[in-house]
Amino acid sequence: MRNLFALVLTFGAAGPALAAEEAFFSLKNTEFVVLIAFLVFVGILVYFKVPRMLGDALDKRSETIRSELEEARALRDEAQAILASYEKKQREVQEQADRIVTAAREDAQTVAEQARADLEKSIARRLAAAEEQIASAQAAAVKDVRDRAIAIAVAAAGDVIARQMTAARANKLIDEAIKEVEAKLH
């Protein structure tokens, strides 16, 4: 209200119409009429509490803006919390994936070492079996050679004895064999 009164005094006192024309407070003076109309207009606005309504509307709007800002801050904070949660989960998942990969590598290495050991055992068993087969085949071959050698030697000895043996010598050998058996039995 003080500002309005100061405006009226400034407008009315400093106007060029005051110096050039007659009295300022005359209805013939357009500036005075405009001033009166303006004051009436301002008075009507004050009477109907328009400044208060404007102030309330501005306060309401500022409160709405403030609540929207607070809501936006809350949403931003919530979004940051969610982002931090997802980043934490991502780190945990990455760590878990790294652990799984490490465990899989260790398992693969263990399985490879076990397979290598099993292969070495299998090769050793097969070599032992092959050596046994070779030894058995050698023994069989040696036995077969001996048996054939014995058979050949017996046949050859039989031929030699048959050629050198006479009936008298055969009877003498039989008698000696019987005496030897009797001596061993009694």
SS3 assignment, position 139: helix
Could you report the per-residue pLDDT of 5-46, keeping only the tens digit for each?
Answer: 555 455 555 455 444 546 777 878 889 899 999 999 999 999
Contact 42, 4 (CB under 8 A): yes
pLDDT the model gives residue 101: 95
User: DSSP string covering 63-120, please?
Assistant: HHHHHHHHHHHHHHHHHHHHHHHHHHHHHHHHHHHHHHHHHHHHHHHHHHHHHHHHHH
What percent of the chain is modeled with pLDDT above 70?
88
12-16, 45-49, 132-136: least confidently modelled range = 12-16
Could you report the per-residue pLDDT of 54-97, keeping only the tens digit for each?
Answer: 999 999 999 999 999 999 999 999 999 999 999 999 999 999 99
pLDDT the model gives residue 11: 52
Could you report the per-residue pLDDT of 139-166, keeping only the tens digit for each?
Answer: 888 888 878 878 887 777 777 777 777 7
Could you report the per-residue pLDDT of 85-102, keeping only the tens digit for each?
Answer: 999 999 999 999 999 999
